[in-house]
Structure 1
């Protein structure tokens, strides 16, 4: 996995992340470029996703494909997605070594309609330099602060609102720790932290803390997709769909997803589109997602969907953070730099350039972290608070919160909509 163009910390960091993700998933992570630091999307080397309604045209195109490409027809996987509404195929060995995107190109030449099939992309919570990542923008840092920042916004009245944080899992001791009382009552899938903290440990707990500080009267469940360190902080979009199905069983009014992905040809993610079509669209629930940390305007899914609230990051000076994505993936911007919130105690060894090998000791129940990962739950909390205090639907709460955004212009990216609270 050499990178002949590597030459700065950002590129080295991206390469470090991909090496970690690939090791954690036994080689099931491929990308679209020779140099890993240049990647735009990550995908499973053998999976294709097809909507059930397109299965016939897909299989017809496969039958027309040159017999020298596939040694046998693709196999329908036994994983059941949205009760069969989305089908995952497993490609056999390609005699010419064709990648999934190359097979899709050949299938479209054979008559497969545009968009009928897609790679199974990797959704990830790490930062990126290429584009398959989301957040955070840095690894967690120690802090001597004992109070969260942005601070807790007291709330005396309002109904309880259900929020599901779909993330790396939950650190149960935080719910009873006297140092983090704002997390009392939060529950979720235990990420089973030990004395040595794995990469991405505490990510979901930190995000739950951001939501609670903005909206104290929330019932939060952290739906974990990378508990026990499985996956290296990443998950296939088809597997993410299963996690989102689980999330909906908690009857959420707001879902926060601080993760995402770029896709082949920048087409909308099939898994997230199917989730909206079959589950989210008919519910009283809003999804909020991080815009990503790649400093560019290319679509980042699910934040780029018009039904999802995509959130970019601001610094305290009200300018867009240098790491934040912008454009179609960011409907609104809010502070995402240098948040302070709950984090597990333990020893953390950095695995990314330029701090690779640096040992950080966390013993205060808190950490400092930056990224659109942490801007997103602030907006999720504001929407939940609007529902709680005014008894409105999730959709109306989303509209009300976004209407409070102030139009401004950032010299590097142009017009933006910013949510400015007292802490910005």
Structure 2
């Protein structure tokens, strides 16, 4: 985990994040560069993904890589039966990495490039220079959320939203300090008095959705539940989580997580999920655009079928951490959001605040990142579905059409949803 420029706070922060992710996942996290702070994408060091229709040719291509493997690749349980296969590569003679093996397969004229990918790690709004929210959660003396709860308490009635995230804090649903979360449900993230990294992320996001659409049915589909995962999940496992999310029949899914990929190619997991599960449904996937100040594709926000959301400061300018370009269809407030958070003691694990102790005892926190801009848009889409009696896709288009076209001096024209939202 050495870093030749470790004195820079930004690089230290990224290294801290990767250490946490690796520690939580038994060292099954690798990256594509020597220095961790320079990573573009994260991947499982032993597994690859391939479409089932390409399996026979893939196995033949592996067989042509003479002198590299000690044994045969093992096919595990298919993440998407009949569509997506996951293989474990055997030991390699010279410790070749997964990207090394894929480079060789790309050169095979009988197989060709792009048909096998790493099993990438998805993280809470990750990317090429940071892999978490733009900040760690901060205490706040405020007792009301921002953006505030809409005064029309019927907004979102009859609409189902699933937040696919770190899990849910059940006490928030019955806490008199956070009444807007009443009847929200989800997978318990099992908080204790000492809050783990990324605790409360899903609860905070569910609260933002509820403020914009108070009558919406919200379920938090949890990954990395119970303090494991370090805020991350393999893309092969995310397919299962997204498929489970669909059992709640949502019109809107909020995913405040994502990934960069090898060669910036679309991740196979999301391609297959869309083709086999989401396509044809009246359901909109709203995705955070990431916090790397980058125009590079950040998935799934960069897909045409997803609604990618960047972050604005309270003065309406694009946040300095927000991604832009192909991953961002629209921008919404993402700086200094205030919403529900578990009570407990949180010890910061990222530079420059590493080791600082923060005590949360108000049921609330302040947080920044595209993670929290996304649920504003998800809530607005849910509200529009109920108000107009329209489809989720029609509501998405209506919400985006309300954005103000403005010019940012750094990134050019953008579509911004300005406050107030209710």
TM surpasses 0.5:
yes
The residue that corresponds to 1:367 in the other structure is 365
1:142 maps to which of 139, 143, 154:
139
Q: Which runs of 5+ in 1 are unaligned?
A: none
Task: State how far apart, in whole Å, the 2-side matches of 1:37 and 1:338 are.
Answer: 25
Root mean square deviation, CA, Å: 1.3
Q: Secondary structure at the match of 1:169?
A: coil
Matches within 5 A, 1:150-169: 150-157=147-154, 159-169=157-167
Aligned residues: 420
The residue that corresponds to 2:68 in the other structure is 69
Judge which range, 414-423 or 345-354, deviates more.
414-423
The residue that corresponds to 2:300 in the other structure is 302
| Deviations 1:310-357 (CA, angstroms, capped at 9, x unpaired) | 000000121110000001011000110000000000000000000000
Task: State how far apart, in whole Å, the 1-side matches of 2:244 and 2:261 are.
Answer: 24
The residue that corresponds to 2:232 in the other structure is 234
Q: Which runs of 5+ in 2 are unaligned?
A: none
The residue that corresponds to 1:32 in the other structure is 32
Check the 8 A contact 1:14/1:129 in 2, yes or no.
Answer: no
Task: State how far apart, in whole Å, the 2-side matches of 1:127 and 1:55 are.
Answer: 30
Task: State how far apart, in whole Å, the 1-side matches of 2:19 and 2:128 are.
Answer: 13
The answer to whether structure 1 residue 379 and structure 2 residue 377 are counterparts is yes
The residue that corresponds to 1:263 in the other structure is 261
Matches within 5 A, 1:256-405: 256-405=254-403
Check the 8 A contact 1:10/1:129 in 2, yes or no.
Answer: no
Matches within 5 A, 1:181-196: 181-196=179-194
Judge which range, 212-221 or 112-121, deviates more.
112-121
Check the 8 A contact 1:13/1:352 in 2, yes or no.
Answer: yes
The residue that corresponds to 2:119 in the other structure is 120
Report the CA distance between 1:421 and its aligned residue. 2.3
Report the CA distance between 1:126 and its aligned residue. 5.7
Task: State how far apart, in whole Å, the 2-side matches of 1:156 and 1:311 are.
Answer: 25
Task: State how far apart, in whole Å, the 2-side matches of 1:110 and 1:29 are.
Answer: 27
The answer to whether structure 1 residue 173 and structure 2 residue 163 are counterparts is no
Task: State how far apart, in whole Å, the 2-side matches of 1:384 and 1:83 are.
Answer: 31
Task: State how far apart, in whole Å, the 2-side matches of 1:336 and 1:268 are.
Answer: 26
Check the 8 A contact 2:40/2:127 in 1, yes or no.
Answer: no
